Amino acid sequence: MDYNQLFTEMGIESQKIEAKGAVASYIPELHRVDPWKFGLHLTTIDNKNYGLGDCNEKFSIQSIAKVLILALAFELEDDKLWSRVGVEPSGTPFNSLVQLEYEKGIPRNPFINAGALVICDILVTRLKDPKQEFIDYVRNISGNRSIDYCQETAESEKSAGYKNTALISLMKSYGNIVNDIDVVLDFYFYLCSIEMTCKELSQEFLFLAANGINPLTNSRIVSPIKSKRINSIMQLCGFYDEAGEFSFRVGLPGKSGVGGGIIAIHPGKYSIAVWSPKLNKRGNSYKGMKILEFFTTRAESSIF
Ligand code: GLU
């Protein structure tokens, strides 16, 4: 499909959609972002690129990076991973403590904070220099050396990381965290601070649209079955307690972050990234969800 015409329409539509909601304020550094930023970028598996607005400006991808730690940990651990974290939707906010106590320190899925902290614990065990090795892994996926952590954002989140400290302490008490909690938290805050543009993000995630191979670099990132499984977890768990709403409106596997970014995948076709910092009450980009709904409806291109 030629998306040029549709992108022209989306430029007009994006101006009509009022950006409701508010920029995340619990991480001081994120609160400084211009709320009116808006970028969108689509990359097809045959490397056609379509961009709009601020699609070449870096922003904090936050929880979207949880998909990439999952990909790496899944490669290293295979199905052993699932004894420490589940694959069920949580139906609770991203940083909720409630379920974790009932379920004895085993998080529902890898995309709520508790689950990502367990994945970080696994990587701290498996890697000698987790921060360096992980950022190298991320850069190699799309062959992009400019991808990096943002130290200010990581330190800013650390200074206000009370909920994450509570989550990891609770899991440690149930024996589901092996390493020192400060070391795991440090890795977690840094991974959430990674910055990318919408264009970089859509290129980074293209491997999940192409059965685990990044068509841009021709390198295999994960096996086809792992690619299938990561997509299915995104479909069911990528938007916290709004995963059903995203599926209902957009109909693609995806993952959001509190920086206002969303990545969505159409297996076999494309990946699409959007950034609009104002979040709805569930912590997902308000305008980002609306424009993706417009896109999959007009393009008649959801997985359903
Ligand atoms: N760094 C954020 C936190 O731990 C990630 C949450 C998100 O993007 O959903 O609170």
Q: Which fold has domain 3-297?
A: Beta-lactamase (3.40.710)
Cα 257 to ligand 1 centroid, rounded to whole Å? 7
> Looking at residue 91, what is its pLDDT?
87
Nearest-CA residue for atom 3 of ligand 1? 113
Rounded Cα–Cα distance for residues 76 and 79 (Å) = 10
Question: Between the CA of residue 208 and those of 69, 114, 144, 146, 222, what are the distances in Å?
Answer: 14, 23, 17, 21, 9
Q: If you search the block for the tokens 């009509």, which residue do you land on?
A: 16
Provide the residue ranges of all domains of the chain, joining segments of one domain with +. Answer: 3-297
pLDDT single digits (tens) 170-209: 999 999 999 999 999 999 999 999 999 999 999 999 999 9
Asked if 211 contacts 226 with a C-beta cutoff of 8 angstroms, the reply is no
pLDDT single digits (tens) 284-296: 999 999 999 999 9
Residue 268: phi, psi to the nearest 5?
Answer: 90, -10
Cα 262 to ligand 1 centroid, rounded to whole Å? 13
Mean pLDDT, residues 255-283: 97
Q: Among residues 61, 135, 121, which one has the least CA distance to residue 85? A: 121
Whether this prediction's pTM lies above 0.95 is answered by: yes
Asked if 4 contacts 253 with a C-beta cutoff of 8 angstroms, the reply is no
Asked if 44 contacts 270 with a C-beta cutoff of 8 angstroms, the reply is yes
Rounded Cα–Cα distance for residues 206 and 268 (Å) = 10
Cα 64 to ligand 1 centroid, rounded to whole Å? 9
> Looking at residue 18, what is its pLDDT?
85
Rounded Cα–Cα distance for residues 221 and 31 (Å) = 34
Cα 27 to ligand 1 centroid, rounded to whole Å? 9
pLDDT above 70: percentage of residues in the chain: 100
Residue 122 confidence (pLDDT) above 80:
yes
Rounded Cα–Cα distance for residues 74 and 85 (Å) = 11
Residue 60 confidence (pLDDT) above 80:
yes
Rounded Cα–Cα distance for residues 78 and 165 (Å) = 27
Terminal-residue alpha carbon distance, the chain: 18
| Secondary structure letter of residue 62 according to DSSP | G
Candidate of 27, 159, 165, 237 to mutate for ligand 1, largest count of ligand atoms within 8 Å of Cβ: 27
Q: What are the strands, taking DSSP E only, across the chain?
A: 39-44, 49-53, 59-60, 195-196, 213-214, 219-220, 254-256, 261-266, 270-275
Residues near ligand 1 (Cβ within 6 A): 62-63, 94-95, 113, 157, 164, 192, 257-258, 283
> Looking at residue 240, what is its pLDDT?
87
Candidate of 69, 94, 246, 280 to mutate for ligand 1, largest count of ligand atoms within 8 Å of Cβ: 94
Candidate of 192, 234, 275 to mutate for ligand 1, largest count of ligand atoms within 8 Å of Cβ: 192
Nearest-CA residue for atom 6 of ligand 1? 63
Cα 31 to ligand 1 centroid, rounded to whole Å? 13
Q: CA angle, corner 210, sides to 303 and 116, nearest 5?
A: 80
User: Count of CB atoms within 10 A of residue 249's CB?
Assistant: 16
Buried b / exposed e along 259-291 (16+ C-beta atoms within 10 A): bbbbbbbbbebbbbbbbbbbbbebbbbbbbbbb
Rounded Cα–Cα distance for residues 177 and 183 (Å) = 11
Average pLDDT, the chain: 96
Asked if 21 contacts 280 with a C-beta cutoff of 8 angstroms, the reply is yes
